[in-house]
């Protein structure tokens, strides 16, 4: 049982680190995309406040998006992989 | 210095290769001839070649281990241990040792009427240290030269390559968006300081420099 608890704890820590890193990365990519989209559009060179508002609105949309939620797969896939390995090895 | 660098790199490559070679599953085509069970002493450093099937096993100095004796197509012997890995390393999650022993017993055959089997295992056989690879699965195959595609290893290395590429992209993104702007700020601040120093020097040349130049006209020409 101790071995199982150890695996669960360290697995959870590893998955959490991966989750946080991926969230930061994904958010950064999205912000960069929004910035480039604005700079390429009509508002380019215009006022800074409108640009910020556009990016903030885009980021709010992102927080509700599917891609944001797909990062939870970082927890789901390894757990399913372990269950699959247990099944394949023993049955 | 060059030799030191290459020695270190070679050592790292060997350790990485050895790690994967020990841990990842391999398939041997063999003929099972017997199975046995033997008490093993586990109190010296060769403990690392045995599993920890359950929690109390880490404290035991000896216990019974099951073995599968086999013969390879070239006639040489191969002996596998058959132990649970449980929840510990390596992560095979093997709990079916008794079943596997039964299957191996069922697939026993003689040289005259061979039944070839594929034994999935990890680990190394080393006679000197009494190390045995741990059998994980056993299944009958048609003949001694049946082809087995290591799907799991292919998948694992593709996945590892994907993870490494992903980490690299994450690092590059972090550098571009977070580290570089800070460095640019520092660079700009430094240029600013530099520029102001230059201006100050120019001003000094403007006032004091002119006086010095005027004074210079009173000096005699340097003698040759």
pLDDT tens profile A59-70 = 999 989 998 999
Instruction: Tell whether A15 is within 8 A of chain B (Cβ).
Output: no
Per the listing, tokens 């002119």 go with B210
Residue B195 pLDDT: 83
In the three-class reduction of DSSP (H, G, I as helix; E, B as strand; rest coil), residue B140 is classed as: strand
| Min distance B32 CA to chain A CA atoms (Å) | 20
Instruction: Tell whether A84 is within 8 A of chain B (Cβ).
Output: no
Q: Contacts of residue B99 in chain A, CB cutoff 8 Å?
A: 90
- Phi, psi (rounded to 5 degrees) for B141: -130, 165
Q: Contacts of residue A4 in chain B, CB cutoff 8 Å?
A: 87
Q: Do B92 and A24 touch (CB under 8 A)?
A: no
| Min distance B36 CA to chain A CA atoms (Å) | 21
Give the nearest chain B residue to A30 (CA atoms).
B173
- Phi, psi (rounded to 5 degrees) for B140: -70, 145
Q: Do B137 and A1 touch (CB under 8 A)?
A: no
Nearest beta carbon to residue A3 from set B86, B94, B174: B86
Per the listing, tokens 């980490």 go with B167
- Phi, psi (rounded to 5 degrees) for A43: -75, 0
Residue B223 pLDDT: 62
Distance CA A27, CA A7 (A): 30
3-state secondary structure chain A: CHHHHHHHHHHHHHHHHHHHHHHHHHHHHHHHHHHHHHHHCCCCCCCHHHHHHHHHHHHHHHHCCHHHHHCCHHHHHHHHHHHHHHHHHHC
Nearest beta carbon to residue A1 from set B55, B92, B136: B55
Residue B139 pLDDT: 93
Predicted complex: ipTM over 0.90: no
Q: Do A32 and B86 touch (CB under 8 A)?
A: no
Distance CA A20, CA A64 (A): 17
Residue A45 pLDDT: 66
- Count interface pairs A-B at CB distance under 8 A: 49
Instruction: Tell whether A66 is within 8 A of chain B (Cβ).
Output: no
Alpha helices in B107-208 (DSSP H): 151-174, 180-204
Q: Do B95 and A90 touch (CB under 8 A)?
A: yes
| Mean pLDDT along residues A46-71 | 88
pLDDT of A4-40, one tens digit each?
A: 899 999 999 999 999 999 999 999 999 999 988 888 8
Which 8-state DSSP code applies to residue B91?
-
Q: Which helix (H) or strand (E) holds B34?
A: strand B26-41
Q: Do B91 and A28 touch (CB under 8 A)?
A: no
Average pLDDT for consecutive 10-residue bins of chain B (224 residues)? 91 96 94 93 89 82 92 94 89 92 93 92 93 94 90 94 95 89 85 82 69 69 61
Give the nearest chain A residue to B95 (CA atoms).
A90
């Amino acid at each position: 049982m101790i071995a199982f608890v150890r695996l669960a704890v360290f697995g959870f820590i590893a998955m959490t680190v991966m989750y946080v890193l991926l969230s930061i990365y994904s958010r950064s990519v999205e912000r960069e995309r929004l910035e480039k989209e604005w700079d390429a559009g009509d508002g380019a060179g215009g006022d800074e406040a409108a640009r910020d508002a556009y990016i903030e609105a885009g980021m709010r949309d992102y927080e509700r998006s599917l891609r944001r939620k797909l990062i939870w797969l970082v927890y789901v896939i390894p757990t399913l992989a372990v269950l699959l390995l247990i099944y394949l090895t023993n049955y | 210095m060059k030799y030191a660098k290459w020695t270190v790199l070679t050592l790292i490559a060997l350790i990485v290769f050895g790690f994967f070679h020990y841990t990842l599953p391999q398939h041997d085509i063999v003929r099972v001839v017997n199975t046995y069970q033997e008490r093993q002493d586990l109190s010296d450093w060769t403990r690392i070649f045995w599993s920890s099937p359950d929690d109390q096993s880490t404290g035991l100095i000896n216990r019974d281990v099951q073995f599968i004796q086999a013969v390879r197509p070239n006639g040489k012997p191969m002996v596998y241990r058959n132990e649970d890995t449980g929840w510990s390393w390596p992560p095979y999650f093997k709990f079916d040792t008794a079943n596997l022993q039964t299957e191996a017993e069922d697939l026993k055959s003689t040289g005259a009427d061979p039944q070839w089997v594929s034994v999935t295992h990890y680990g190394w056989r080393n006679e000197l240290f009494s190390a045995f690879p741990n059998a994980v699965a056993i299944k009958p195959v048609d003949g001694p030269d049946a082809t087995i595609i290591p799907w799991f290893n292919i998948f694992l290395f593709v996945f590892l390559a994907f993870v490494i590429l992903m980490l690299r992209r994450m690092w590059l993104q972090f550098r571009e968006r977070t580290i570089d702007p800070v460095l640019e700020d520092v660079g700009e601040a430094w240029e600013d300081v530099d520029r102001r120093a230059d201006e100050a020097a120019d001003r000094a040349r403007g006032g004091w420099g002119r006086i010095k130049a005027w004074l210079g006209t009173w000096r005699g020409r340097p003698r040759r």
